[in-house]
Structure 1
Amino acid sequence: MPAAPRSTPASASASACAALRAALLDAPPVTVNSVPDLGRAVFVGSGDSLASGLIATEFGHRALSAGDVTWSQTLPAACDTLVGISHSGTSGATVRALRMARDAGLKTVAITSQASSPLADTADEVRLVPTLRVEEEVPCAGHVMLAQGVAAVCGVDTTPFNQALAQSLDGVRATVDAHVRDLPGSAPAAVSVLSLPELCSGADFWVLKLIEACGLAVRTVPLEESGHVDYFIGPQAHLTLQLMGPHGRSRFDRLAEALRTTGQTVCQVDTRHLTDPSAPDAAVLRDLATAVAGTWFAHGAALRWGRPPFRGGAVNMDARHIKLDS
């Protein structure tokens, strides 16, 4: 029997694009109600869920790692409502953080896809998001729905988002494929992801997916902080990914020029037209599309560099170490 054809970055992104589009168009929209009297809210989660929570910073709230609350045994100062985010509703640190808040008399909210879960059982109010039925080698579907749930809790009408995001995916894929083709042929020693706060959720998600897919050390850096220190990185190969939104283009360009003079590879990803900039709540949609782009870029980079996602099965994926124990 002939061997199955080897997946290429372009074929992988085409397959992922078709699957995600079908899932988005088939799924019910996220119709979560906003939370009355949310007050000064802190959104907590871990991993992909924390990236989803960062959407709330666009609306004046805060987002923290659930572990920072749980393992320090300290609730955030000046917090009226603690919002826990977990697709499964079983992330141990997030459930424990919500229990701490409940016991302290704070208002608690759960954003999850599982109505019968420890997280939902702990919360005063539960906001359920649908599950996207899609097979993914490097996952982003859970984040796409949870981030919509976060936006909805903050007052955004997310009803049209599935349709709008589905319509944008061909353009997202074209952008990703072009940048993957321009990558060096071998993996760098490490990767930096730069952004301004308007893309903090999407940038954080790029970091997570690059780590999962490529097994590399990856960090997220505020644009100006990179300008102060990153030109000292070397002499090992380093890749800097600049995620650019509507603001700061001249600063991104000046920094890219400086970093290239030190031998670094700089990839500028313009996210401004990944989605329709005139759509309602265009900034949230752009952040979601940026996250999807990061997932496909990470998978494409892994294929280009010969680094199978999740270290080719070397990583135990049962995740028991982060789940709520008995």
Structure 2
Amino acid sequence: MSVEQDFAGLRAALASTPSVTPAELGDLGRAVFVGSGDSLASALHASPHGHRAMSSGDIAWMDQAPAGCDTVVGISHSGTSGGTVKALRIARRAGLKTVAITSWAESPLAQAADVVQPVASLRYPEVVPVAGHLMLAQGVAAVCGVDTTAVNRQLLDNLDVIEALVEASAGELPTTLPQGISILSLPDLRSAADFATLKFIEATGLTVRNVPLEESGHVDYFIGPQSHLTLLLQADAAAFRFERLAQALEATGQTVHTVIWPGAANTPEDFLVRDLAMAVHNTWLAYRASKLWARPWFRGGQVNMDASHIKLPEHVLQA
């Protein structure tokens, strides 16, 4: 399957799928948004609005509601992710308000919530998945008060730009397999960076890390002498810092590629669309890297993708 075929499928799906319509949720107070994997990357969209994002397992397997919050928001496309379901049940027992962001209104997650923010399913043939994140992140933003009703149309309008950026980035990939990958960002693209980490792991099977920009500046020049790929995800802020850091890392022998999203973001809606556009870019770049380096995605099917290891047993889900 080629990247062009995938973009055609995404184009059709965005054109036919409604964006998220914000639900009536009332006051969240201080909220903690929880999820696992892709859903946790979606949860990071709550951070610019003054809320926190946590792994649902931090609540579920410690059996403690998060301190200093009024609301726990659980994020799961299927609504059956075990840690997230359990986290909402713990929050409810602690007397906190609970909200579910899910595509399945009758799911165990929805049943554990006081209020549900529904999201549609963006359906098209995928190799390395991004569709669920595009909708769940909209759900997070909608819960935080962002107008999400035109996001799919705005992403559709940007697909030509995204595709061109993928082609440019793919041309900068090293032709030989690196031994590791670092994804660097500032908070304006932190969710996209977190999501990129997951997608490169899924697509290539390499060790990949997500690093705040300045922390990389403190330690990453020690990486080596093995080959290492560093991707810098850059938007409007601190272009000079990205440039200086890229020079320093290149001087140590790393392959460095800076991905710059063209155009400014001025509203919460703009920031959301830009981050999701970069998430699409990163997903397709990971796919292209897997093809270039002859790395079979999901370890060539060796990995069990039914996600049973992160779901609670049926008798527990129905409890």
Q: TM-score range by the shorter chain?
A: over 0.9
Aligned to 1:243: 233
Q: 1:71-90, aligned counterparts within 5 Å?
A: 71-90=61-80
Query: Structure 2, unaligned stretches of length 5 or more?
Result: none
CA offsets 1:125-182 (integer angstroms, 9 cap, x no match): 0111000121101110000000001000100111111101011011101101111112
Query: What letter matches 2:131 in structure 1?
Result: A
Q: Distance in 2 between matches of 1:203 and 1:167?
A: 22
Is 1:91 aligned to residue 98 of structure 2? no
Q: Is the Cα–Cα contact under 8 Å of residues 85 and 94 in structure 1 kept in the other structure?
A: yes
Q: 1:299 aligns with which of 287, 302, 317?
A: 287
Is 1:192 aligned to residue 182 of structure 2? yes
Q: 1:34-45, aligned counterparts within 5 Å?
A: 35-45=25-35
Is 1:233 aligned to residue 234 of structure 2? no
Q: 2:17 aligns with which of 15, 27, 33?
A: 27
Q: How many residues align?
A: 314
Structure 2 residue matching 1:281: 3-state secondary structure: helix
Q: 2:113 aligns with which of 115, 123, 133?
A: 123
Aligned to 1:323: 311
Structure 1 residue matching 2:303: 3-state secondary structure: coil
Query: What letter matches 1:108 in structure 2?
Result: T
Structure 2 residue matching 1:205: 3-state secondary structure: helix
Structure 2 residue matching 1:94: 3-state secondary structure: helix
Aligned to 2:122: 132
Aligned to 2:160: 170
Alpha-carbon shift at residue 232 of structure 1 (Å): 0.3
Q: Is the Cα–Cα contact under 8 Å of residues 244 and 272 in structure 1 kept in the other structure?
A: no
Alpha-carbon shift at residue 279 of structure 1 (Å): 6.8
CA offsets 1:68-108 (integer angstroms, 9 cap, x no match): 11111222111100000000000000000000000111000
Q: Is the Cα–Cα contact under 8 Å of residues 203 and 286 in structure 2 kept in the other structure?
A: yes
Superposition TM-score, scaled by structure 1 size = 0.94
Q: Is the Cα–Cα contact under 8 Å of residues 46 and 141 in structure 2 kept in the other structure?
A: yes
Q: Is the Cα–Cα contact under 8 Å of residues 32 and 129 in structure 1 kept in the other structure?
A: no
Pairwise CA RMSD of aligned residues? 1.2
Aligned to 1:3: none
Q: Is the Cα–Cα contact under 8 Å of residues 193 and 207 in structure 1 kept in the other structure?
A: yes
Is 1:158 aligned to residue 148 of structure 2? yes
Q: Is the Cα–Cα contact under 8 Å of residues 23 and 116 in structure 2 kept in the other structure?
A: no
Alpha-carbon shift at residue 280 of structure 1 (Å): 6.4
Superposition TM-score, scaled by structure 2 size = 0.96
Q: Distance in 2 between matches of 1:322 and 1:294?
A: 24
Aligned to 1:310: 298
Which 10-residue stretch deviates more, 44-53 or 276-285?
Answer: 276-285
Is 1:287 aligned to residue 275 of structure 2? yes
Aligned to 1:183: 173
Q: Is the Cα–Cα contact under 8 Å of residues 17 and 170 in structure 1 kept in the other structure?
A: no
Q: Is the Cα–Cα contact under 8 Å of residues 35 and 154 in structure 1 kept in the other structure?
A: no
Bigger relative contact order, structure 1 or 2 (CA pairs below 8 A, ≥6 apart)? 1
Q: 2:203 aligns with which of 196, 213, 218?
A: 213
Aligned to 1:17: 7
Q: Is the Cα–Cα contact under 8 Å of residues 36 and 84 in structure 2 kept in the other structure?
A: yes
Aligned to 1:142: 132
Q: Distance in 2 between matches of 1:300 and 1:211?
A: 13
Query: What letter matches 1:258 in structure 2?
Result: A
CA offsets 1:246-267 (integer angstroms, 9 cap, x no match): 1011001000000011100001
Is 1:68 aligned to residue 65 of structure 2? no
Structure 2 residue matching 1:266: 3-state secondary structure: strand
Alpha-carbon shift at residue 277 of structure 1 (Å): 3.8
Alpha-carbon shift at residue 286 of structure 1 (Å): 0.4
Q: Distance in 1 between matches of 2:24 and 2:296?
A: 40
Q: 1:59 aligns with which of 41, 49, 62?
A: 49
CA offsets 1:169-209 (integer angstroms, 9 cap, x no match): 11101101111112111111000000001111111000000
Alpha-carbon shift at residue 35 of structure 1 (Å): 2.4
Alpha-carbon shift at residue 34 of structure 1 (Å): 5.2
Structure 2 residue matching 1:63: 3-state secondary structure: strand
Which 10-residue stretch deviates more, 175-184 or 188-197?
Answer: 175-184
Query: What letter matches 1:299 in structure 2?
Result: Y
Moved over 3 A (4+): 276-280
Q: Is the Cα–Cα contact under 8 Å of residues 228 and 255 in structure 2 kept in the other structure?
A: yes
Q: Distance in 1 between matches of 2:188 and 2:24?
A: 21
Query: What letter matches 2:174 in structure 1?
Result: P
